[in-house]
Amino acid sequence: MSFEALKPKVTTILANEKESVKQRLTEVCELLQTSLGYYDWVGFYFANHDQKTLHLEAFAGEPTDHVVIPFGKGICGQVAESNENFVVADVKAQNNYIACSMYVKAEIVIPLFKDGKNIGQIDIDSHTEDPFSSEDERFLEWVNQQVAQIL
């Protein structure tokens, strides 16, 4: 499914105030994971700035042991500190990578900002080598902008 076709679906999910924020985030994860063949795991982590940790709030895909990630560790932890998108074409080439599954070949992490502050991120793992493009970055930035509005 194209990114443009997914946008109204994301908007509809996030607008459903009858569900909790966590449930809506989980549904967004499920939508992306089932609609985009190379999005094998999709999750939202949120920052605890006092403890300098990220906490998994919602996801779709295989369960992970990485429900808390220290700032600076792995791709997610690096994004918590850099405030910048991080696209990894080949996770084996990263020396600060936390392996979630032996099948993961690539990862993209996009920070989520609320009122100018990095409060979390969307994290996508792929079993496909080098699948992510600038279009993925722009789409995921848009998703995070929509999510920030319900937080």
Q: Which residues contact 111 (CB under 8 A, 6 or more apart)?
A: 79, 80, 83, 84, 85, 118, 120, 121, 144
* Model confidence pLDDT, tens digit, residues 1-34: 899 999 999 999 999 999 999 999 999 999 999 9
* Model confidence pLDDT, tens digit, residues 77-99: 999 999 999 999 987 877 766 66
Domains recognised in the chain with CATH numbers? 3-148 (3.30.450.40)
**In angstroms, what CA-CA distances link 121 with 33, 42, 70, 143?**
16, 11, 14, 10
Structure tokens at 123: 């994290």
Strands 41-48 and 53-60: antiparallel
pTM (global) more than 0.85? yes
CA 58 – CA 22 distance, rounded (Å): 6
DSSP 8-state assignment for residue 62: S
Which phi and psi (to 5°) does residue 41 adopt?
-145, 130
One-letter amino acid of 122? I
CA 74 – CA 70 distance, rounded (Å): 9
CA 5 – CA 69 distance, rounded (Å): 33
Q: What is the pLDDT of residue 96?
A: 67
Q: What is the pLDDT of residue 1?
A: 87
CA 21 – CA 48 distance, rounded (Å): 17
Specify the 3-state DSSP secondary structure of 33. helix
